[in-house]
A and B are shown apart, each in its own frame.
Chain A
Amino acid sequence: MDPILEVIYSTVLSSAPYLIAAYALMWAVMLIYIIYSNRSLSNTEKQLSALEEAITQLESKA
Protein backbone atom coordinates (compact mmCIF):
# COMPACT_ATOMS: atom_id res chain seq x y z
CA MET A 1 0.00 0.00 0.00
CA ASP A 2 1.11 3.57 -0.71
CA PRO A 3 2.78 4.89 2.48
CA ILE A 4 0.81 8.17 2.29
CA LEU A 5 -2.50 6.31 1.99
CA GLU A 6 -1.38 4.13 4.89
CA VAL A 7 -1.11 7.27 7.05
CA ILE A 8 -4.41 8.68 5.75
CA TYR A 9 -6.28 5.48 6.64
CA SER A 10 -4.26 4.77 9.81
CA THR A 11 -7.18 5.28 12.26
CA VAL A 12 -9.80 3.47 10.18
CA LEU A 13 -9.05 -0.13 11.20
CA SER A 14 -8.49 0.71 14.86
CA SER A 15 -11.84 2.54 15.08
CA ALA A 16 -13.88 -0.14 13.28
CA PRO A 17 -14.60 -2.31 16.38
CA TYR A 18 -15.87 0.72 18.32
CA LEU A 19 -17.99 1.86 15.38
CA ILE A 20 -19.53 -1.60 14.99
CA ALA A 21 -20.07 -1.89 18.76
CA ALA A 22 -21.73 1.55 18.93
CA TYR A 23 -24.19 0.80 16.12
CA ALA A 24 -24.87 -2.76 17.35
CA LEU A 25 -25.51 -1.65 20.94
CA MET A 26 -27.78 1.21 19.86
CA TRP A 27 -29.84 -1.16 17.72
CA ALA A 28 -29.89 -3.71 20.53
CA VAL A 29 -31.30 -1.14 22.99
CA MET A 30 -33.95 -0.06 20.49
CA LEU A 31 -34.94 -3.60 19.50
CA ILE A 32 -35.16 -4.81 23.12
CA TYR A 33 -37.45 -1.89 23.91
CA ILE A 34 -39.64 -2.52 20.84
CA ILE A 35 -39.97 -6.23 21.77
CA TYR A 36 -40.74 -5.34 25.41
CA SER A 37 -43.33 -2.77 24.32
CA ASN A 38 -45.03 -5.20 21.90
CA ARG A 39 -45.14 -8.03 24.46
CA SER A 40 -46.51 -5.72 27.13
CA LEU A 41 -49.27 -4.47 24.82
CA SER A 42 -50.18 -7.96 23.65
CA ASN A 43 -50.33 -9.34 27.26
CA THR A 44 -52.51 -6.44 28.39
CA GLU A 45 -54.83 -6.94 25.40
CA LYS A 46 -55.20 -10.63 26.31
CA GLN A 47 -55.90 -9.81 29.96
CA LEU A 48 -58.44 -7.18 28.97
CA SER A 49 -60.37 -9.45 26.63
CA ALA A 50 -60.35 -12.30 29.20
CA LEU A 51 -61.72 -9.97 31.89
CA GLU A 52 -64.38 -8.54 29.57
CA GLU A 53 -65.46 -12.06 28.67
CA ALA A 54 -65.62 -13.13 32.32
CA ILE A 55 -67.70 -10.05 33.23
CA THR A 56 -70.09 -10.61 30.32
CA GLN A 57 -70.61 -14.23 31.41
CA LEU A 58 -71.27 -13.25 35.04
CA GLU A 59 -73.65 -10.48 34.01
CA SER A 60 -75.62 -12.78 31.71
CA LYS A 61 -75.98 -15.35 34.53
CA ALA A 62 -77.18 -12.69 36.96
Chain B
Amino acid sequence: MSNKTSKLDALALPFLIIGGVLIIFAFVFNFTVTPMALGDIEVPEPAMIGGKIVTTTLLLSQKIFFYHMPVAVISMVALAFTAAYGIMFLRTRNTKYDIRAQTATEMSLVFVSMTMVSGVAWTRHDWGAWWVWEPRLITYLILMLMVIAYFILRTAVSDPERRATYSSVFGIIVAVNAPISFMITRLVPSTHPVVFRSDSGLPPLMLIPLLLTILGFSLIAFALFRQRVRARQMEEQVESLKLRLDDLRG
Protein backbone atom coordinates (compact mmCIF):
# COMPACT_ATOMS: atom_id res chain seq x y z
CA MET B 1 0.00 0.00 0.00
CA SER B 2 2.84 2.37 0.87
CA ASN B 3 4.46 1.77 -2.54
CA LYS B 4 1.16 2.52 -4.25
CA THR B 5 0.79 5.69 -2.17
CA SER B 6 4.27 6.94 -2.99
CA LYS B 7 3.72 6.27 -6.69
CA LEU B 8 0.54 8.35 -6.61
CA ASP B 9 2.37 11.08 -4.67
CA ALA B 10 5.13 11.09 -7.29
CA LEU B 11 2.50 11.83 -9.94
CA ALA B 12 1.20 14.89 -8.09
CA LEU B 13 3.75 17.45 -9.32
CA PRO B 14 3.76 16.32 -13.00
CA PHE B 15 -0.06 16.31 -12.96
CA LEU B 16 -0.11 19.81 -11.44
CA ILE B 17 2.22 21.11 -14.17
CA ILE B 18 0.43 19.29 -17.03
CA GLY B 19 -2.94 20.46 -15.70
CA GLY B 20 -1.72 24.07 -15.55
CA VAL B 21 -0.34 23.91 -19.09
CA LEU B 22 -3.60 22.42 -20.43
CA ILE B 23 -5.68 25.13 -18.76
CA ILE B 24 -3.46 27.93 -20.07
CA PHE B 25 -3.53 26.40 -23.57
CA ALA B 26 -7.34 26.10 -23.40
CA PHE B 27 -7.55 29.71 -22.18
CA VAL B 28 -5.47 31.00 -25.11
CA PHE B 29 -7.41 28.79 -27.56
CA ASN B 30 -10.69 30.07 -26.15
CA PHE B 31 -9.78 33.73 -26.68
CA THR B 32 -8.03 33.36 -30.03
CA VAL B 33 -9.56 30.48 -32.04
CA THR B 34 -12.97 29.85 -30.47
CA PRO B 35 -15.62 32.18 -31.90
CA MET B 36 -17.84 34.25 -29.64
CA ALA B 37 -21.25 32.71 -28.91
CA LEU B 38 -24.33 34.09 -30.62
CA GLY B 39 -26.82 36.02 -28.50
CA ASP B 40 -30.61 36.10 -28.67
CA ILE B 41 -31.01 39.65 -29.98
CA GLU B 42 -31.26 39.82 -33.78
CA VAL B 43 -29.54 42.66 -35.61
CA PRO B 44 -31.40 44.73 -38.27
CA GLU B 45 -29.30 43.23 -41.08
CA PRO B 46 -26.68 40.44 -41.23
CA ALA B 47 -22.96 41.20 -41.30
CA MET B 48 -19.97 39.15 -42.47
CA ILE B 49 -17.46 38.54 -39.63
CA GLY B 50 -14.51 36.18 -40.08
CA GLY B 51 -16.05 34.60 -43.18
CA LYS B 52 -19.35 33.88 -41.43
CA ILE B 53 -22.70 35.61 -41.60
CA VAL B 54 -23.71 36.96 -38.19
CA THR B 55 -27.35 37.84 -37.58
CA THR B 56 -27.37 38.33 -33.79
CA THR B 57 -25.36 40.09 -31.08
CA LEU B 58 -22.15 38.34 -29.94
CA LEU B 59 -21.65 37.30 -26.31
CA LEU B 60 -18.22 37.72 -24.75
CA SER B 61 -19.66 36.88 -21.32
CA GLN B 62 -20.32 33.29 -22.48
CA LYS B 63 -16.55 32.70 -22.29
CA ILE B 64 -16.90 32.56 -18.48
CA PHE B 65 -18.65 29.23 -19.08
CA PHE B 66 -15.36 27.60 -20.24
CA TYR B 67 -14.04 27.71 -16.66
CA HIS B 68 -17.34 27.86 -14.78
CA MET B 69 -18.76 24.56 -16.01
CA PRO B 70 -15.57 22.47 -15.51
CA VAL B 71 -15.02 23.69 -11.93
CA ALA B 72 -18.70 23.09 -11.11
CA VAL B 73 -18.49 19.51 -12.41
CA ILE B 74 -15.27 18.85 -10.45
CA SER B 75 -16.83 20.26 -7.26
CA MET B 76 -19.58 17.66 -7.60
CA VAL B 77 -17.24 14.79 -8.54
CA ALA B 78 -15.14 15.59 -5.45
CA LEU B 79 -18.26 15.13 -3.33
CA ALA B 80 -18.80 11.70 -4.89
CA PHE B 81 -15.33 10.82 -3.56
CA THR B 82 -16.31 12.23 -0.15
CA ALA B 83 -19.27 9.84 -0.07
CA ALA B 84 -17.23 6.87 -1.35
CA TYR B 85 -14.48 7.38 1.25
CA GLY B 86 -17.12 8.00 3.93
CA ILE B 87 -18.73 4.63 3.14
CA MET B 88 -15.30 2.95 3.15
CA PHE B 89 -14.56 4.45 6.57
CA LEU B 90 -17.89 3.34 8.02
CA ARG B 91 -17.27 -0.19 6.74
CA THR B 92 -13.62 -0.52 7.80
CA ARG B 93 -13.09 2.14 10.53
CA ASN B 94 -9.72 2.84 8.90
CA THR B 95 -8.72 6.49 9.47
CA LYS B 96 -6.98 6.72 6.10
CA TYR B 97 -10.44 6.85 4.49
CA ASP B 98 -11.51 9.63 6.83
CA ILE B 99 -8.43 11.64 5.81
CA ARG B 100 -9.29 11.10 2.15
CA ALA B 101 -12.96 12.02 2.68
CA GLN B 102 -11.94 15.23 4.45
CA THR B 103 -9.50 16.10 1.67
CA ALA B 104 -12.04 15.37 -1.08
CA THR B 105 -14.51 17.71 0.66
CA GLU B 106 -11.79 20.35 0.90
CA MET B 107 -11.23 19.99 -2.86
CA SER B 108 -14.96 20.39 -3.38
CA LEU B 109 -14.97 23.59 -1.30
CA VAL B 110 -12.17 25.09 -3.42
CA PHE B 111 -14.02 24.29 -6.65
CA VAL B 112 -17.39 25.38 -5.23
CA SER B 113 -15.80 28.76 -4.40
CA MET B 114 -14.49 29.04 -7.96
CA THR B 115 -17.91 28.12 -9.36
CA MET B 116 -19.62 30.70 -7.19
CA VAL B 117 -17.31 33.62 -8.04
CA SER B 118 -17.50 32.92 -11.77
CA GLY B 119 -21.25 32.31 -11.57
CA VAL B 120 -22.11 35.58 -9.86
CA ALA B 121 -19.95 37.53 -12.34
CA TRP B 122 -21.85 35.95 -15.25
CA THR B 123 -25.24 36.37 -13.55
CA ARG B 124 -24.56 40.06 -12.85
CA HIS B 125 -23.92 40.78 -16.51
CA ASP B 126 -26.38 38.47 -18.25
CA TRP B 127 -29.27 38.50 -15.77
CA GLY B 128 -28.65 41.99 -14.36
CA ALA B 129 -28.37 40.84 -10.72
CA TRP B 130 -25.62 39.40 -8.52
CA TRP B 131 -27.94 36.66 -7.32
CA VAL B 132 -31.16 35.15 -8.69
CA TRP B 133 -33.30 32.80 -6.63
CA GLU B 134 -33.69 30.11 -9.27
CA PRO B 135 -33.54 26.29 -8.74
CA ARG B 136 -29.93 25.61 -9.81
CA LEU B 137 -28.50 28.51 -7.82
CA ILE B 138 -30.55 27.66 -4.72
CA THR B 139 -29.58 23.96 -4.74
CA TYR B 140 -25.93 24.83 -5.35
CA LEU B 141 -26.00 27.40 -2.52
CA ILE B 142 -27.41 24.70 -0.20
CA LEU B 143 -24.61 22.39 -1.38
CA MET B 144 -21.99 25.06 -0.59
CA LEU B 145 -23.44 25.73 2.88
CA MET B 146 -23.46 22.01 3.63
CA VAL B 147 -19.83 21.66 2.55
CA ILE B 148 -18.95 24.51 4.95
CA ALA B 149 -21.07 22.82 7.66
CA TYR B 150 -19.02 19.63 7.14
CA PHE B 151 -15.89 21.47 8.30
CA ILE B 152 -17.74 23.14 11.19
CA LEU B 153 -18.85 19.68 12.28
CA ARG B 154 -15.28 18.39 12.13
CA THR B 155 -13.98 21.19 14.34
CA ALA B 156 -16.92 20.82 16.77
CA VAL B 157 -16.24 17.17 17.63
CA SER B 158 -13.00 16.59 19.53
CA ASP B 159 -13.02 12.78 19.79
CA PRO B 160 -11.30 11.49 16.59
CA GLU B 161 -13.40 8.32 16.29
CA ARG B 162 -16.72 10.13 16.73
CA ARG B 163 -15.55 12.99 14.48
CA ALA B 164 -14.71 10.56 11.68
CA THR B 165 -18.01 8.70 12.04
CA TYR B 166 -20.20 11.81 12.15
CA SER B 167 -18.39 13.50 9.28
CA SER B 168 -18.54 10.32 7.16
CA VAL B 169 -22.32 10.18 7.56
CA PHE B 170 -22.67 13.92 6.98
CA GLY B 171 -20.35 13.74 3.96
CA ILE B 172 -22.65 11.15 2.36
CA ILE B 173 -25.65 13.44 2.99
CA VAL B 174 -23.77 16.41 1.45
CA ALA B 175 -22.91 14.32 -1.62
CA VAL B 176 -26.60 13.56 -2.21
CA ASN B 177 -27.00 17.26 -2.99
CA ALA B 178 -24.70 17.05 -6.02
CA PRO B 179 -27.02 14.98 -8.29
CA ILE B 180 -30.01 17.01 -7.07
CA SER B 181 -28.28 20.27 -8.05
CA PHE B 182 -27.13 18.75 -11.34
CA MET B 183 -30.58 17.39 -12.31
CA ILE B 184 -32.73 20.25 -11.03
CA THR B 185 -32.53 22.26 -14.28
CA ARG B 186 -33.92 19.23 -16.13
CA LEU B 187 -36.72 18.52 -13.66
CA VAL B 188 -38.19 21.96 -12.94
CA PRO B 189 -38.35 25.15 -15.01
CA SER B 190 -35.07 27.02 -14.64
CA THR B 191 -33.37 29.96 -16.33
CA HIS B 192 -29.92 28.40 -15.83
CA PRO B 193 -28.43 27.08 -19.11
CA VAL B 194 -28.41 23.29 -19.51
CA VAL B 195 -25.22 22.02 -21.13
CA PHE B 196 -25.19 18.23 -20.75
CA ARG B 197 -27.89 16.80 -23.00
CA SER B 198 -27.93 13.94 -25.52
CA ASP B 199 -25.13 15.92 -27.17
CA SER B 200 -23.19 18.91 -25.83
CA GLY B 201 -24.72 21.23 -28.42
CA LEU B 202 -21.33 22.87 -28.78
CA PRO B 203 -19.37 23.22 -32.03
CA PRO B 204 -15.90 21.56 -32.01
CA LEU B 205 -14.10 24.90 -31.60
CA MET B 206 -15.94 25.40 -28.30
CA LEU B 207 -15.79 21.76 -27.24
CA ILE B 208 -11.96 21.57 -27.50
CA PRO B 209 -11.16 24.29 -24.89
CA LEU B 210 -13.97 23.03 -22.68
CA LEU B 211 -12.68 19.44 -22.62
CA LEU B 212 -9.08 20.59 -22.17
CA THR B 213 -10.13 22.75 -19.22
CA ILE B 214 -12.04 19.84 -17.63
CA LEU B 215 -8.98 17.60 -18.05
CA GLY B 216 -6.59 20.30 -16.80
CA PHE B 217 -8.59 21.08 -13.66
CA SER B 218 -9.10 17.35 -13.00
CA LEU B 219 -5.32 16.81 -13.05
CA ILE B 220 -4.80 19.80 -10.74
CA ALA B 221 -7.50 18.53 -8.37
CA PHE B 222 -5.86 15.09 -8.26
CA ALA B 223 -2.42 16.62 -7.60
CA LEU B 224 -3.70 18.83 -4.81
CA PHE B 225 -5.70 15.95 -3.34
CA ARG B 226 -2.57 13.78 -3.13
CA GLN B 227 -0.54 16.63 -1.66
CA ARG B 228 -3.14 17.36 1.04
CA VAL B 229 -3.55 13.67 1.89
CA ARG B 230 0.23 13.40 2.27
CA ALA B 231 0.33 16.51 4.47
CA ARG B 232 -2.45 15.13 6.70
CA GLN B 233 -0.74 11.74 7.00
CA MET B 234 2.45 13.53 8.03
CA GLU B 235 0.50 15.62 10.57
CA GLU B 236 -0.68 12.36 12.14
CA GLN B 237 2.94 11.17 12.25
CA VAL B 238 3.96 14.45 13.90
CA GLU B 239 1.33 13.94 16.63
CA SER B 240 2.46 10.37 17.34
CA LEU B 241 6.14 11.44 17.38
CA LYS B 242 5.31 14.23 19.85
CA LEU B 243 3.80 11.62 22.20
CA ARG B 244 6.85 9.41 21.76
CA LEU B 245 9.16 12.32 22.52
CA ASP B 246 7.19 13.10 25.69
CA ASP B 247 7.54 9.45 26.75
CA LEU B 248 11.30 9.50 26.14
CA ARG B 249 11.68 12.71 28.15
CA GLY B 250 9.74 11.06 30.96
Q: How far is the CA of A26 from the CA of B228 in the complex (A)?
A: 20
What is the chain B residue whose CB lies nearest that of A45?
B234
For B230, the chain A residues whose CB sits under 8 A away are 41
Q: Is the interface of A mostly helix, strand, loop or mixed?
A: helix
B185 at the interface (CB under 8 A from A): no
Q: Is the CB of A22 within 8 A of B238?
A: no
B186 at the interface (CB under 8 A from A): no
Option from B47, B54, B114 in Cβ contact (under 8 Å) with A30: B114
Q: Is the CB of A8 within 8 A of B245?
A: no
Option from A11, A26, A44, A48 in Cβ contact (under 8 Å) with B59: A11
For B220, the chain A residues whose CB sits under 8 A away are 30
B45 at the interface (CB under 8 A from A): yes
What is the chain A residue whose CB lies nearest that of B233?
A44
What is the chain A residue whose CB lies nearest that of B36?
A12
Nearest Cβ on chain A to B241's Cβ, whole angstroms: 4
Nearest Cβ on chain A to B118's Cβ, whole angstroms: 4
B224 at the interface (CB under 8 A from A): yes
Q: Mark A3-14, 1 if CB is under 8 A from B, else 0.
A: 011011111101
Nearest Cβ on chain B to A35's Cβ, whole angstroms: 11
Option from A30, A37, A51 in Cβ contact (under 8 Å) with B245: A51
Option from A37, A45, A48 in Cβ contact (under 8 Å) with B241: A48
Option from B61, B71, B242 in Cβ contact (under 8 Å) with A26: B71
Q: Is the CB of B241 within 8 A of A29?
A: no
What is the chain A residue whose CB lies nearest that of B16?
A34
Option from A26, A37, A55 in Cβ contact (under 8 Å) with B248: A55
Q: Mark A38-49, 1 if CB is under 8 A from B, else 0.
A: 101100110110
Nearest Cβ on chain A to B49's Cβ, whole angstroms: 7
Option from B114, B124, B224 in Cβ contact (under 8 Å) with A34: B224
Q: Is the CB of B60 within 8 A of A62?
A: no
Q: Is the CB of A15 within 8 A of B57?
A: no
What is the chain A residue whose CB lies nearest that of B237?
A48
Beyond A8-B57, A11-B58, is A18–B245 a contact (Cβ under 8 Å)?
no
B7 at the interface (CB under 8 A from A): no
B165 at the interface (CB under 8 A from A): no
Q: How far is the CA of A43 from the CA of B49 in the complex (A)?
A: 55
6 pairs of residues in contact across A and B, judged by CB atoms under 8 Å: A4-B45, A8-B57, A15-B59, A23-B118, A41-B234, A55-B245
- B positions within 8 Å CB-CB of A: 16, 27, 36, 39, 43-45, 47, 49, 54, 56-61, 63-64, 67-68, 71, 110, 113-114, 117-118, 121-122, 124-126, 220, 224, 227-228, 230-231, 234-235, 237-238, 241-242, 244-245, 248-249
The 7 closest A-B CB pairs, nearest first, are A22-B121, A15-B61, A25-B117, A51-B241, A22-B118, A18-B125, A18-B121
